[in-house]
Chains A and B, each alone.
Chain A
Amino acid sequence: MKKNFITCFFITTALIGSIITAHAQSLDRIIKDKKIRITAEVTSPPFGILDKSGQPDGSEIATARQLAKDLGVELELVQVTGAQRIPALLAGRADVAISSLSITIDRAKTVMFANPHGALSVIVTAPQNIKISTASDLSGKRVGITRGTLEEATLPKIAPKDAQLVMFDDIASTIQALLSGQVDCASFSSFAAKSVADRNPDKKLENKFTVATAYYAVAVKPGDFDLLQFLNTWVWLRTSDGTLGKIYEEHTGVKLIDLPKF
């Protein structure tokens, strides 16, 4: 009886102790372990792609590599799909999410955003012969959307009730659906749409209208204030000296606009 009590007591203390130490500040832990885990969404051109040799590349991956280099730690890329970016962060599989996470109010409720380091716009694209010029023209059409993206957060709000929204797990499937005609039109970031149109000139895809524009930023788990402060400082430093602007322009072909700070 007494032996059981003592065992229980030690186990409880160990558990409580581990919970308390789990609050050890993330930035210190990353520097101590010499490793940072960053989410990598590789099916989101041009932010995250797989290059010819199957290695992750893209503007956000390059940004992640820059962050790891500046921290002086090893980078571990945690591959995720669009819908898994925030869950991976919240579950602790990644320390930082650098995967073109656009700043929206709903997301801001669950993660902490750093100051933005890029901007994107989300558009609806379709073959030339399909006439769409505003959201109301989506009536009765099948619209392909990827789960967990800005287009999923914004398009359903402005689409007419009888537009059929078809949800896919990743951008590659949505692209396939558009190219094979399984959906009449699809919504992507303007960069992704451009890359799809360029690679498939016979489909004559063109941007129909812009759904939303947003700034995207690095995100961390709620409570990681030290990491957040470091990231804000880092984004400011690297934007001022042009490093992040250069990465952005290199991969998107567009000059980086003036970014707000909060």
Chain B
Amino acid sequence: MNYVFQFGTVLDHAPLLLYGAWSTIWMTAFGTVGGLFIAIFCVFLGATGSKSVRLLVESYVEIIRNTPFLVQLFVLYFSLPALGIRLNADQAAVIGLSVSFGGYATEILRSGIEAVSRGQIEAGRSLGLHRIMIFRHIVMPQAIKIIYPALSSQITILLLGSSVVSAISATELTAISNSLQSQTFRSFEFYFVAAGMYLIMSALLKLFLNTFYWLYFIRGRNN
């Protein structure tokens, strides 16, 4: 092989790469939180709403799950201005990530809620709790415990999928390493390091989610 590796170039640009990693992390965080809000709201509507409301939620989920994420971003960033809504790249990225994650999370939460036995809801009603309280205190904690593995892997997919937002010029790790490699022509070095950084972030995310699970569901319980 004639190629001489020059990782020193990557080290020179380390601050920029770390800034990109930080952008990826906060975009993922916003996307997850936003998506979870959307998902909990949608799942509540889907479980307790009228038929037309349920249809609305179902169509939202199906549209999100059956269109490519990149195309969703292009619609948000390039097509909305024609309707007068101009989002800048970072706004479009976070909204896109939340909406996309919300679609998948709604499905996952819904399956968790269906797994909670009806007896629990009936017991709640017999205790006089109304709909929202049953949902909040009885159904959701049990549902989240059941679907936690599926949800954590979806969050990891969100972290890695955030690299797609580079296509609409949002600045995060992939966009920055892409720009750096096109300026320095060290594509192997930069892409290799970027992949390594995603690996580390993904491992840290997994650690974080597992710790959260242990803190919330396992510690201090006897079952």
- Interface residues in chain A, defined as those with a beta carbon under 8 Å from any beta carbon in chain B: 19, 22, 82-83, 86-87, 90-91, 106-107, 109-110, 144, 147-148, 152-153, 166-169, 173, 176-177, 180-182, 221-223
Contacts and interface: CB of A to CB of B under 8 A. Distances in A.
B142 interface: no
A22 B166 CA distance: 36
A186 to B, nearest CB: 12
B151 to A, nearest CB: 31
Given A106-B185, A110-B185, A223-B2, A173 B167 contact: yes
Given A91-B187, A182-B86, 19 more contacts: A22-B1, A83-B178, A83-B181, A86-B187, A90-B185, A91-B188, A106-B185, A152-B182, A166-B89, A167-B169, A168-B167, A168-B169, A169-B166, A169-B167, A169-B178, A176-B74, A180-B79, A182-B77, A182-B81
Nearest to B171: A167
Interface residues of B, number: 26
Nearest to A86: B185
B28 to A, nearest CB: 21
Given A19-B1, A166-B169, A177 B78 contact: yes
B179 interface: yes
B3 interface: yes
A93 to B, nearest CB: 11
B183 to A, nearest CB: 7
Interface in B84-112: 86, 88-89
B127 interface: no
A82 B178 CA distance: 11
Contact of B182 (A83, A181, A182): A83
Contacts of A153: 183
The 3 closest A-B pairs by CB, nearest first: A87-B187, A148-B182, A83-B182
24 contacts: A19-B1, A83-B178, A83-B181, A83-B182, A86-B185, A86-B187, A90-B187, A91-B188, A106-B184, A147-B179, A147-B182, A152-B183, A167-B169, A167-B175, A168-B167, A168-B169, A169-B178, A173-B169, A176-B78, A177-B78, A180-B77, A180-B81, A180-B82, A182-B86
Contacts of A177: 78, 169
A110 B169 CA distance: 26
Interface string B172-195: 000100110111110110000000
A148 B182 CA distance: 5
A169 B77 CA distance: 14
Contacts, number: 68
A107 B185 contact: yes
A108 to B, nearest CB: 11
A41 B190 CA distance: 22
A99 B179 CA distance: 19
A167 B89 CA distance: 11
Nearest to A19: B1
B146 interface: no
Given A87-B187, A147-B179, A222 B2 contact: yes
A187 B199 CA distance: 35
Q: For A152, A177, A182, which residue has the most chain B Cβ atoms within 10 angstroms?
A: A182
B2 A181 contact: no
Among A169, A181, A221, the one with the most B-chain Cβ atoms within 10 Å of its Cβ is: A169
B79 A167 contact: no
